[in-house]
Structure 1
Amino acid sequence: MKILLIEDEVKLGNFLVKGLEEEGYSVAHETNGSEALETAATNDFDLILLDIMLPGQSGFEVLKNMREFSIHTPIIFMSALNESEHVIKGLDLGAIDYIKKPFDFEELKARVRNVQRKFGSTRASILQVKDLKVDLIKREVTRADQLIELSKREFSILELLLSNTNRVLSKSEITQKIWNINFDRGSNVVEVHMHQLRKKIDFEFEPKLIETQVGYGYKIQGELVKS
């Protein structure tokens, strides 16, 4: 299950990402309402956990815009605005649940499981370009039917590249989405991970799938097949 967490309190956001990932969920974290809307529009998620008091756009505005853009991913509001009028507004806008802060993490997990039971996974479980196949449920990668072992970070980068096939992702965007930190121009962390990823999925195979746009970023070129 892939979750988009939209929470501007960094400490709380990091805690929730860690806890949800330990439960086996794949989590992307955004702290700005406008940027989160773009992330939701360009990626497939099974659930969105949405704060209300956000920079850029409020959670209410984010939800309205998502529905206008035909993004119908289930949404749970998480907010310190716990008066009945806010709960009613959130539910009337189309959220399926509303959890009041502060909340117990076990309660949040139960609500997430409830969404999983009701809606299941709405996204593809397998992504494939040419002979590269990624199973998002089993978290298995094969190329030419050969099983390839990837680290957690490498798998996340590969999933990000495949989910944005034919679009160049900047090093800044990769850093923000994979490490949830701002890009440090003096860091070579992206280059190091891309080199390791290339060694595993490209060096011994043809054609080469990962392309570099010098001075900017990376992309995987080809026809993406989802199943």
Structure 2
Amino acid sequence: MRVLVVEDETRLANVVRRGLELEGFVVVTAATGEDGLWRATEEAFDVIVCDIMLPGINGYEIVRALRAKQIWTPILMLTAKDGEYDQADAFDLGADDYLVKPFSFVVLVARLRALVRRGAPARPVLLTAGDLSLDPARRRVMRGNEEVDLTPREFGVLEFLLRNPDTALTKGEILRNVWDAHYVGDENIVEVYVGYLRRKIDAPFGAHTIDTVRGVGYRLTTAPPNSPNSPEG
């Protein structure tokens, strides 16, 4: 799951980023209102954490602008302002939740998962391909009636593939959406994790879910293995 954290306090932003990454989130940070609004408009996120008091445009204006553009990504306002009218203003503008600093990190994670579970319009709660299913909110993967245990990174790769079924995705696209927008390591790390996934979600079940697209990257296929529409692996 991708989360945008718009927070100008560098120390707090880094703490939140590191903590969320340990929980399996892919985190992008922005330190100004303008940068936060631009990223929220140009990139896809599952949830946004946004401070109210920001350099440039404030959090209220970010919410107002996003909703005016009909961008319905769930937004949690994170702020030191705890007045009733401050909260009411945030909700009236289109925010989905509100958390006051200092806050419990456990509560922050729980609320973010609840927002993702509730989802934006048209976002499927359960991602499926045949008898393979992934629940983003509960972080649960099932193959038929059997649960499959994945690491946070494996889960992220599979989720991204399931959100883009029957689509050839480059290693770069997978890296930007599952690792980090600024990742500078070897792209072949994607190949390593696809191998891990195949050994966990396919091999034990005699299944074939992830195709290698030569010269491009990988594709998660939703067609049955013997279907005429099933691509060659």
Tell me, yes or no, whether TM beats 0.5. yes
- Matched position secondary structure for 1:121: helix
* Count of aligned positions: 211
- Matched position secondary structure for 2:166: coil
Aligned equivalents of 1:99, 1:137: Cα separation in 2 = 19
Going from structure 1 to structure 2, the CA distance change for 1:186 and 1:134 (only over 3 Å counts) comes to closer
Q: Which amino acid aligns with 1:27?
A: F
Q: Which runs of 5+ in 2 are unaligned?
A: 30-34, 224-233
Displacement, 1:130?
Answer: 0.8
| Structure 2 residue 26 is the aligned partner of structure 1 residue 28 | yes
Going from structure 1 to structure 2, the CA distance change for 1:144 and 1:114 (only over 3 Å counts) comes to closer
Aligned to 1:162: 162
Aligned to 1:6: 5
Aligned to 1:130: 130
Q: Which amino acid aligns with 2:3?
A: L
Displacement, 1:190?
Answer: 1.6
Cα contact 1:37–1:62 (8 A) shared by 2: no
Q: 189-198 or 12-21, which moves further after superposition?
A: 12-21
Aligned to 2:117: 121
- Matched position secondary structure for 1:202: helix
Aligned to 2:179: 179
Q: Which amino acid aligns with 1:152?
A: P
Identity of aligned residues (%): 32
| TM-score (normalizing by structure 2) | 0.63
The 5 Å alignment of 1:34-183 reads 34-40=38-44, 45=46, 47-51=47-51, 53=54, 62-78=62-78, 93-96=93-96, 103-106=101-104, 110=107, 121-123=117-119, 124-180=124-180, 182-183=182-183
Aligned to 2:228: none
Aligned equivalents of 1:62, 1:166: Cα separation in 2 = 34
Q: Which amino acid aligns with 1:133?
A: S
Aligned equivalents of 2:63, 2:168: Cα separation in 1 = 27
Q: Which runs of 5+ in 1 are unaligned?
A: none
Aligned equivalents of 1:29, 1:65: Cα separation in 2 = 22
Cα contact 1:171–1:183 (8 A) shared by 2: no
Displacement, 1:113?
Answer: 5.6
Going from structure 1 to structure 2, the CA distance change for 1:138 and 1:78 (only over 3 Å counts) comes to closer
